[in-house]
Amino acid sequence: MLDMVIVELRMIVVMVATGGTTQWMDPESNGGGLLRPTWTLWRREVVRFLRQRNRVIGALLTPLVFWMLLGFGLDKSFRLIDEVGAAGESVGYLEYFFPGTIVMILLFTAIFSTISVIEDRREGFLQGVLAAPVPRLAIVLGKVLGGATLATGQGVVVMLLWPLIGGFPGIEAMVLSVVCMFVMAVGLTALGLCIAWPMDSVAGFHAIMNLFLMPMWFLCGALFPVSAAPSWMAAVMYANPLTYGQATLRWTMSGAASPITPAMGWAVMTLFAVAMVAASGWLVAQPRKNGS
């Protein structure tokens, strides 16, 4: 682990030496003040994830097992009336629950990818990045885009199973689904960065995430539609930004409508992603309580 940290620090030093300090600090320079450090941190996140095979396997198989156990177990017991309304079509629980499984993958992969912030601070790598003449926004973009790329990639792998369940939706619908997943993943990764940045304990991060993530996912429409929830729970679900992402993803994959229109879903998802990136950028720019 120490060797990896040293290699990454050397990479940053070499890039500063070859690119020049001005290029790193000035976004308007020819080299781009954000591009090089953002690309370096993004690449590090991806390579680090791919080298941890147990993390790859766990991130993919856990939601799939969850989907198979619940989906196959409840598929014959419940038939859900699709929220198309006039069409009155009923769908099996296995089909209904599939987009929610992808949302689970995006949620857990995106947010838990920000644990590396705590690990990097403890190992000294983050201090080296903060000491380098790198804009703080580059740190945010590198982490957020890295986590979003990992989450989207895993979501795409699972989405390839959809033609076996709900039929082939078409190339345009598949592309829209990938875009929807990426926008969701950006917002969720930035949310995780906001939570992880002030923390020093991985165990504390896990405790907060388990308390925070599961209700967020349960109340997004993945397990049951908003229209079937009690009024007080429906109000909480409408306040959950993940509800709009789940509804939009379900619409792009199967064309199923809901009380949340596609335009509303795309708008809330995008605003959530922008707001979270802005909030994480502001937080990273602030000194921590211990003065670091």
Residue-by-residue DSSP string for 30-97: TT-TTHHHHHHHHHHHHHHHHH-HHHHHHHHHHHHHHHHHHHHHHHTT-EEEPTTSSS--EEEHHHHH
Q: Which tens digit of pLDDT belongs to each residue from 176-202?
A: 999 999 999 999 999 988 888 888 777
Torsion of CA 19, 20, 24, 25, to 10 degrees: -170
- Closest Cα partner for 209 from 127, 142, 115, 274? 115
Q: Are 135 and 37 in contact (CB under 8 A)?
A: yes
Q: Which one, of 40, 19, 34, lies nearest residue 128 by Cα?
A: 40
CA pair distance 176, 262, nearest whole angstrom: 11
Give the CA distances from residue 105 to residues 52, 102, 142, 153, in Å, rounded to whole numbers and listed in that order: 17, 5, 20, 10
Check residue 28 and give its pLDDT.
39
pLDDT at 20: 38
Report whether 188 contacts 220 (CB < 8 A).
no
Tell me the one-letter amino acid at 186. Answer: V
- Prediction pTM value: 0.78
Residue in 281, 109, 284 with CA at minimum distance from that of residue 184: 109
Residue 81 pairs with which residues in a beta bridge? 90
Q: Which helix (H) or strand (E) holds 248?
A: helix 241-254
Nearest Cα residue to 123 out of 1, 290, 292, 288: 1
Q: Which residues contact 289 (CB under 8 A, 6 or more apart)?
A: 198
Cβ-contact 81, 90 below 8 angstroms? yes
Q: Quick one: pLDDT band at residue 13, thresholds 50, 70, 90? A: very low
**pLDDT for the residue numbered 76:** 63
Tokens for 170, please give them. 């078409």
| Residue (of 249, 78, 225, 46) closest to 150 by Cα position | 46
Residue 235: predicted pLDDT: 93
Query: In the structure encoding, which two tokens stand for residue 27, read together?
Result: 């976004």
Q: State the Cα–Cα distance between residues 102 and 156, nearest whole angstrom.
A: 9
Tell me: pLDDT of 7 over 50.
Answer: no
CB 104 within 8 A of CB 222: yes
DSSP secondary-structure letter at 227? Answer: G
pLDDT in tens, 75-129: 666 665 555 433 445 667 778 888 888 998 898 888 888 887 887 777 777 777 7
Quote the pLDDT of residue 18.
36
